[in-house]
Amino acid sequence: MRSAASSQRLQGRLQEPIEIAPLNGDSIRDLIQARVAEFKIDNSAIPPVSSKSFAYAFRVLNENLRDTLKFCGDFSLWLHDSNQSWEDEAHLDELFEIWLAEQSHAYMDAINVPPRAWKLLDEICLQGGSISPSDHKDYGFNSSQNMRGQVQRLEQAGLVVSELEDTDQRRKTISVVAKGWLVRHHRSGYEKHEKARMPTEVLLFRGWSWSWSWVWYEVLVSRAIRFQLLFEVSILQLSFV
C-alpha cells in the first residue's frame, strides 16, 4: 500500500495508511460470538462451527484468519453433504475436532518427508512460522544452499512456500502454509491445543515419538462412536459460517 501510493503526483493528497494489527487468539472467540449473535434469525439456531471450534482451528492454523475461514467452510459443507445431524453445540464441537484431526491425518499419509526436513519444519514453526535463508546457521546448516535442499523437500510436500519480501526483493522468506500447520498438528499428537482436555489414554503416550500421534485421533473416534454422535445441518444454519 505504501509503495503503490509513492507517486509525486499524489503527494499531499493521501493520508498515511492506517496500520491494522492482525486478530489474536484472545479476541477471536468474542468476535465470532458477536457475529453469530448479530446474524442469527432464531435463538434456537446453532451454527455449524461454534466460536469455540473456530478459536480451536484458529490456534491450530497459527492464527491465520483466511485459512481458518476456509477449513470451517469445508467442515460446514461436509456436514451438509453427508446428511449429518447433531444434538447440541458440544457434539458439534467434538465432531469438528475429529474432522480436523482426520484432515491432518490424511495430509500426513499423503506425503513423504525425510527426518532432517521434519526437523527443519518443527524449527520454523517454533519461530512463528517464517524464517529467512540467511539464518541457516541457526538451524544447523553450513550455508543457505545446504538448507535449500531440505526446504525444497518441504515445498514439494506443500508444507512451506518461499517468497520474496514485498519491502525488499533481495530477501526471501520461508513460511509454513496451512497444510504444514495441520501436519504439525498431527505430528504433535494434538497436545499443543488439547492439553487441558486430553483423556488419560492419551496422556500415557506423552513424550513418545511422533509416530504415536494417531492415538489421540483414535481416542476421538472411539468417543464419537461411544456417544453415538449423529449430526445434520440445514441450509439455514450454514448461513452462519
Which amino acid would we find at residue 176? V
pLDDT in tens, 16-32: 777 777 777 788 999 99
pLDDT exceeds cutoff 50 at 241? no
**Cβ(112)–Cβ(158) under 8 Å?**
no
- Report which of 91, 96, 98 is spatially closest to residue 72, judged by C-alpha positions: 96
Range name among 68-72, 107-111, 145-149, 164-168 with the lowest pLDDT average: 164-168
Give 142's DSSP letter: S
Q: What's the pLDDT score for residue 41?
A: 85
- Report which of 229, 194, 220 is spatially closest to residue 89, judged by C-alpha positions: 229
**In 188-232, alpha helices (H):** 191-194, 200-203, 214-226
Q: Which three cell numbers stand for residue 151?
A: 526446504
The span from the CA of 184 to the CA of 179, in Å, is: 9
The span from the CA of 104 to the CA of 102, in Å, is: 5
Q: What's the pLDDT score for residue 89?
A: 87
pLDDT exceeds cutoff 50 at 48? yes
The span from the CA of 198 to the CA of 190, in Å, is: 9
pLDDT in tens, 92-134: 999 999 999 999 999 999 999 999 999 999 999 999 999 988 8
Q: How confident is the model at residue 85 (pLDDT cuts 50, 70, 90)?
A: confident
Q: What's the pLDDT score for residue 2?
A: 52
Q: Give, in degrees to the nearest 5, the angle at Cα 125 between 124 and 129.
A: 80
